[in-house]
Amino acid sequence: MNFIEVNAEQAPLQLLYEADPNPDKVASYLPRCRIIVAVEDGNQVGVAALLPHRVGEWELINLAVSPDYQKKGIGATLLEYVIDWTRAQKGYYLGLGTGTFGYQLAFYQRAGFRVERVIRNFFLDHYPHPVWEAGIQHQDMLWLGLKL
């Protein structure tokens, strides 16, 4: 698998929408992000969008893998690359927001991320339509952090 950095105009939007189903929200942060695309056999199979905050602090605002390529270790490989990339940028902290349940929470915790706070009603306040997973509506967001 190869990783390439692209600009906002080249970002694979359909992949980004897999992790964030609100196109307006994606459009609001994408121009300020560094975007890394995972490519396998010429196909864009994953994407990560990283938003810089204070010097050395980054937010992994979006990470997605194409449904056809999920459950093959691509997400874990992409996340490992993102963590190494952040360190190479002299980053000392990587944070992200995710739902309070589901496979994403365990995925990030396996990589060493720790829960730092709960943002109540995030999905209710910031998404025009309900976000469902496994028959449960997402309401609150967990903020996870990783000290590098």
109: containing domain? 2-147
Query: Which pTM was predicted?
Result: 0.92
CATH of residue 89's domain is 3.40.630.30
C-alpha angle with apex 36: 98 to 49, nearest 5 degrees?
30
Q: Please state, in angstroms and rounded to a whole number, the distance separating the CA atoms of residues 59 and 13.
A: 19
Beta bridge partners of 47: 37, 64
Whole-number pLDDT of residue 46:
98
Splitting the chain (148 residues) into consecutive groups of 10 residues, what average pLDDT does each group show? 97 96 94 98 97 97 96 96 97 96 92 97 89 89 97
Q: Please state, in angstroms and rounded to a whole number, the distance separating the CA atoms of residues 115 and 112.
A: 10
What's the number of domains the chain is made of?
1
The first and second tokens of residue 57, run together, are: 């602090």
The first and second tokens of residue 31, run together, are: 């121009």
Whole-number pLDDT of residue 97:
96
Whole-number pLDDT of residue 5:
98
- Is-contact 94 146, C-beta < 8 A? yes
